[in-house]
Amino acid sequence: MAEVLVFHHGRGLTAGVREFAEQLRRAGHLVHVPDLYEGRVFASLEEGVGYAESVGFGAITARGTAAAEGLPAELVHIGFSLGVLPAQKLAQTRPGAKGALLLEACVPVAEFGGAWHPEVPVQIHGMDADPFFAGEGDVDAARALVGTATDAELFLYPGDRHLFTDSSLPSYDEQAARQVNRRVLGFLGRIDGIDRVDRLA
């Protein structure tokens, strides 16, 4: 069993993000899903990002890092789009992180100081023509991370949709999302397997 901290995207803690978390629970993992928007869910990404801008991206990230307080250090951090900010920050700066799954976003590792820790495996997923992921530099940051990290993978899916992994949104791409989910579960299974070996050693 891996223990996982999941951060929602810019529209808020939607039914699709909750369902993703439930899939991980059904696979036997312990999952925490904090609400960085304090109960707000927005009808459009523009509205949601507007709210995040009004609060401040730094404040949203701080809410995410605060959500990790009181939880074990040995977490896998998962972020959807905007949620990548706290997920990536925690994976880079909180000692003991077991891994990171960055969905539809990635920021340069310098944003949070220093390099990616070699012992922290990471997967990054995004669409190859997504105007946010591919058009705003995230894919370049992802390639740079993969090029310098010891255990890192970048998966690109054909298409131009953002938030394609959220089953409750019109942007959902079922075929691509299934591939993401399969790879995420494989990643978590691998982390769990390594932990079991470590405990038996």
**Structural domains in the chain?**
3-200 (3.40.50.1820)
- For β-strands 152-157 and 99-103, DSSP reports them as unpaired
Please give the Cα distance from 184 to 35 (Å, whole number).
Answer: 21
> Given phi > 0 = left and psi -120 to 50 = alpha, else beta, which region is 159?
left
Please give the Cα distance from 201 to 185 (Å, whole number).
Answer: 24
Residues 127-162: tens digit of each pLDDT? 999 999 999 999 999 999 999 888 999 999 999 999
The least confident of 35-39, 81-85, 146-150, 170-174 is 146-150
Residues 21-31: tens digit of each pLDDT? 999 999 999 99
Q: Which among 51, 63, 65, 155 has a CA at the least distance from the CA of 103?
A: 155
pLDDT band at 113 (very low <50, low <70, confident <90, very high): confident
Q: What confidence score (pLDDT) does residue 195 get?
A: 52
Residues 153-163: tens digit of each pLDDT? 999 999 999 99
- For the cut 50, the answer to whether the pLDDT of residue 74 exceeds it is yes
Q: What confidence score (pLDDT) does residue 194 get?
A: 54
Instruction: List residues bridging with 41 in a β-sheet.
Output: 12
Q: What confidence score (pLDDT) does residue 201 get?
A: 36
Instruction: List residues bridging with 5 in a β-sheet.
Output: 32, 77
CA distances from 52 to 49, 60, 85, 171 (A): 5, 7, 12, 20
Q: What confidence score (pLDDT) does residue 200 get?
A: 34
- For the cut 60, the answer to whether the pLDDT of residue 196 exceeds it is no
Residues 19-63: tens digit of each pLDDT? 999 999 999 999 999 999 999 999 999 999 999 999 999 999 999
Backbone angles phi, psi at 160, to 5 degrees: -125, 20
Q: Which residue has the tokens 């591919």?
A: 134
Q: What confidence score (pLDDT) does residue 118 get?
A: 85
Q: In the predicted model, what is the mean pLDDT of residues 167-183?
A: 97
Please give the Cα distance from 144 to 194 (Å, whole number).
Answer: 26
Quickly list H helices, 12-165: 15-26, 45-55, 57-67, 84-93, 138-148
